[in-house]
Structure 1
Amino acid sequence: MSEKREMTSVDLVALTAELNTYAGAKVDKVYLYGDDLVRLKMRDFDRGRVELLVETGETKRAHVSAPEHVPDAPGRPPDFAKMLRNRLSGADFHAVRQHGFDRILEFEFRREDADTKIVAELFGDGNVAVLDENGEVVDCLETVRLSSRTVAPGAQYGFPSQRVNPLDLDYEAFAAQMRDSDTDLVRTVATQLNFGGLYGEELCTRAGVEKTMDIADAGEDEYRALYDAMTRLFDPIQSGDLDPRVYYDEDDGDSRVDVTPVPLEEYAGRESEAFDSFNGALDDYFTNLGGTEEEEGGEGPTKPDFQSEIEKQERIIAQQESAIEDFEREAEQEREKAELLYGNYDLVDDILSTVRDARAAGHSWSDIDERFAEGEERGIEAAEHVQGVNEQQGTVRVRLDGHTISLDPEEGVEKNADDLYTEAKRIQEKKEGALEAIENTREELEAVRERKENWEAPEEPEEPEEVDWLARSSIPVRKPETWYDRFRWFRTSDGFLVLGGRNADQNEELVSKYMDGYDRFFHTQAHGGPVTILKTTEPSEPSKDIDVPDQSLEEAARFAVTYSSVWKDGRGAGDAYMVMPDQVSKTAESGEYLSKGGFAIRGDRTYFRDIAVGCVVGIQCEGETRVVGGPPSAIEPRAETVVELEPGEFAQGDAAKRIYREFRERFADTSFVRKVASPDEIQKFMPPGGSRLVE
């Protein structure tokens, strides 16, 4: 299977919904690489840096890319890039839309002095045109002058003749398009309805119709099945309910060959990788398109990317676990259907006998369908359970207790039930195969982890070199951005991550999104304290029942007391309690009301009495360079230097400035302090209310 190098119309339907979530991002700069790759560097209030790539050469794509996947800035910008910078610098990204069902995207940018539209043509030779507010072309990568349209500076932009948009068709219009064809079903869907080859086959597969059936032999059943399959496929795509996949080559298993917004039945059984967003899947696919080549001439072997392989195996296991659950559910449904046939034996037998007698008497399937419809109007019980007939398959659909069951009238109740049991057994066998496959994948995962450990294990343990960071004239900055930076946080002496909310919204978020079944929930007895969660495992790991040492529990309790109203009120100690997550609820007792950020606690509590407040703020230099703060016993071993605080008379901002000046006096590299420990950064780790520095 050859690699996909161009995005499809279906891809663009899914992409536009995701790209529009970036509305409001502000353009910083625009770059042009070669003559076909445009990069828009933007800033988003919530996401930070946003890199939008549009490529229209041999590879045709548009998506947001991870910063590490973006090529280095080119040299002197060409005139086209200069023009885009002049028009877009400081502009807001307003919206993007697909032109009909064509492979054309229209990006809209707004600025006080002028609005700009960028039209990306991802078909044929490809093109990017920049339009002003009146739709006139300011400039374009390729000039087009045809009898049907013109794309040239100074001219009105001309779209190509718009093709049929199948997503705008109701059933009658859809069927009319099908009838106008003179080829088979799959080619009709691919060309007449513009779905292309892959999605033409996908719709036929999902509809359960014969792909090569000549259109002259097709009828309403096939048209309706295809239309329903189209609706089922595109409803979630248009609504943004995606499950993006990157598919790999069946032979080598490493080369990526396709990327889709939802899993395809045409690719069932092919190895794939799931992504949280379609942009992420597109970025992964096109970044790795064609594979990567090892650099030659380097010194020593390049370290294998063990972590990517581990994450890949973990994703495969998750997919396999999901498939096993699906098989269990499907097999159970088939068994339930079989049991329903026996539980409604007389009713089902009556329906099947009626169909057999009617067919023996020469009645057509449509006559039988009408007869059941008339019987339903007269209130005949058997007729009320009939949902319709399928002339092509010679079956009747019966609705029993929420299940629709297709039955063969010639086989009788027992044989139909036996067929369902046989299907359940077949699905069960698929489940057994999946169980074997997941065990193999787990073994591969363990093998990768073992290779990683062997690679990273030093030949001979060495004593770590003692570094006097305070005296160093230059300290390299290594400050990672972590997902929990926006919360209050610290790591206990035993390495457990403790999170605290800064406000009611974060309290709600910590409990609903980040608290797992074996974590510990802490709160001060005093009113006005943060929700405090001690994570027993990292959020990316499965929750486990782990014994937490007493010191870590006490440090979390001290954190809960210190960052509460106890400190703000100038008190030196307070009480805290701990419960398990299943004791925390947003449902108030009868007659009571829970305010935002508040929770009801049920069951026994573990109390920590008369816990003294305690907070130090320090700078960590080993491994990472950053401000850290929290209970002294947890922070002092990790920090190069700390400042101890106690409740006092200085406002939080003033105290933070004093700490900053103290750090600048302690470090020889004052620029390092400025980069990693600004007063604003220090303030994030300080308790609410007044403080003073302990001499």
Structure 2
Amino acid sequence: MDPKRELTSVDLAALVGELGAYEGAKVDKAYLYGDDLVRLKMRDFDRGRVELIFEVGEVKRAHTVAPERVPDAPGRPPQFAMMLRNRLSGADFVGVEQYEFDRILEFTFERDDGITRIIVELFGQGNVAVTDGEYEVIDCLETVRLKSRTVVPGSRYEFPESRTNPLTVSREAFDREMDDSDTDVVRTLATQLNFGGLYAEEICTRAGVEKAMDIDDADEAVYDRVYQAIERLALDIRNGNFDPRLYLESDDEGSDGGDEAEGDDDTDADEGRVVDVTPFPLEERSDLAADPYDSFLAALDDYFFRLVLDDEEEQEPTERRPDFESEIAKHERIIEQQQGAIEGFEQEAESLREQAELLYAQYGLVDEILSTIQEARDQDRSWDEIEERFAEGAERGIEAAEAVADVDGSEGTVTVELDGERIDLNANRGVEQNADRLYTEAKRVEEKKEGALAAIEDTREDLEAVKRRRNEWEADESGSADADEDEGDEDEDAKRDWLSEPSVPIRENEPWFDRFRWFHTSDDYLVIGGRNADQNEELVKKYLEPGDKVLHTQAHGGPVTVLKATDPSESSSSDIELPESSIEEAAQFAVTYASVWKDGRYAGDVYAVDADQVSKTPESGEYLEKGGFAIRGDRTYYRDTPVGAAVGIQCEPYTRVIGGPPSAIEDRAVTTIELEPGRYAQADAAKRMYRRFRERFADESFVRKIASPDRIQHFMPPGGSRIKED
């Protein structure tokens, strides 16, 4: 049996009650691990330290964790974590709710300066969205642009469409859902009533109903038993009548010790591997060994802790083939859905424009309708009277009255029917204003289409990445036999395959220049650039030495770029002749991290001068802004220097992210990703690169620790980017 890796809706309904006991706890700090695990460190006056985590990746969970089990804090907090700290530090935990019966938890925190909501989506791709008290998205781990909903910073958070909540469903609504089904009882409970497979089977078992019974054969007595079983389950959840169980499967697949483990305290159930955790015993799991717990939160903490240990123990020297086909099918299915959304946006925008054109085509008729309503309202006539007046006019054959399909006083709208098209109008506005509103709405829908196009491109690139990994895996497998035979004869100095290492040791080093933009040229010379005017000023005043080269773009807004002849700890010398290849790479660096890239251009002009030609003293009558400098003497120009940027992961002598011109990075990193100017914001492009790096390393935890999206972003050019196609 495959172990559970995602919490169910029933789990979340039970979880909410226990998490409510921590209301009033204060938030100390927030942490982000990789791109899918958030940790909140809190203080509860009765219980002391409380660690709350949300994970929304391959494993989807939300629960408290014993302090001794929390992962070590990342060395450099990413932007998302810093945002959480700024909003939540010292805030009170007000409470948590499950959105309807969906796998969504909404955590609310309050501070004197406002309310913050953290909405955790534990379904699909998973997401964590941080909103203010009015549900405006401050930031989110993943942007969502679908036809049905949008979750992007700056917009109002949109929940998924409502579904039936089986824990609160009335008997009448239950009967309707069952009657509308065309399948068997268990599938109806799983899909129509949203229980999912396991709990649908559990309800049938508790009700004594055959799971495969066709819905047409289910009579009133069957409905009664099923509904009563649902009510008992809902009552246990509402009243907190939990008796949590952690279920284990014996390592001996042929053994069946479930009853023995359940009834004998001396049975060593811990020897099995964990497969499920539930808020109460399930008859569907009666064949498994089970450990009881005092609280569901404690059971969840133990379950996921042991799940990680079990996964690590199952890793074999020769890794089992990943299920590439399922991943490919998933991405292809998502692309199909996104294409459908794009078609829907196109049709919706076209329909809105046609409606606006219809208003102008029948301007006189529409104007008569709107003027009639506005005059009647000026005379204090009620909306009911206005509707009656249009009905009477329609009976007399008045064309304008016949075009009125509906009047809604609560919304102040009138619906007209023109050439078979129904159009909702604001009754307090004129024809032009209503048409403008429709055109504006069409434009907004077109923008959603652009977002969907960007999303589909992301998915296509993810699909190609899976296919590449599959091809690489198959190529490696075909050559593995020969490689094994020659393994003992390998040269000790051969390059280590860090991508395949199951565990990459962390060797951190933060050089003095790490806060600047930097890279080492192919000839091993250091190049540093300023990130802002203050750093430009500092580079020229503090780090510019004889023998160095200074490079700058002709375009405004470029960084001061210094090609160092020596390290600041060494004696400077003007006799060192810097290689032309290093100067050209420094020139590419200067143009890439300037406004040239931000403007979407692919080349620009750069000039180079010697250190002694740069001065912070302006000419008489001139003024230098902060970060500016004066150049005296001739300049060497590098015309039409192409932009170029790559980000890579280095494993020796230190483990870290590096970035710069591709020619300088490729030989220093074990893997690189090349960029080009594009429409993706830095943060979105960094997340995509992070996912690519994780796919390339066998040790995904290594990438989490040293190459977070925020750290990758540190080496990216300003402005929009995209991953350059291979």
Question: Per the shorter chain, which TM-score range?
Answer: 0.3 to 0.5
Q: What's the TM-score once normalised by structure 1's chain length?
A: 0.42
Determine which structure has greater relative contact order: mean sequence separation of CA pairs < 8 Å that are 6+ residues apart, divided by chain length.
Answer: 2
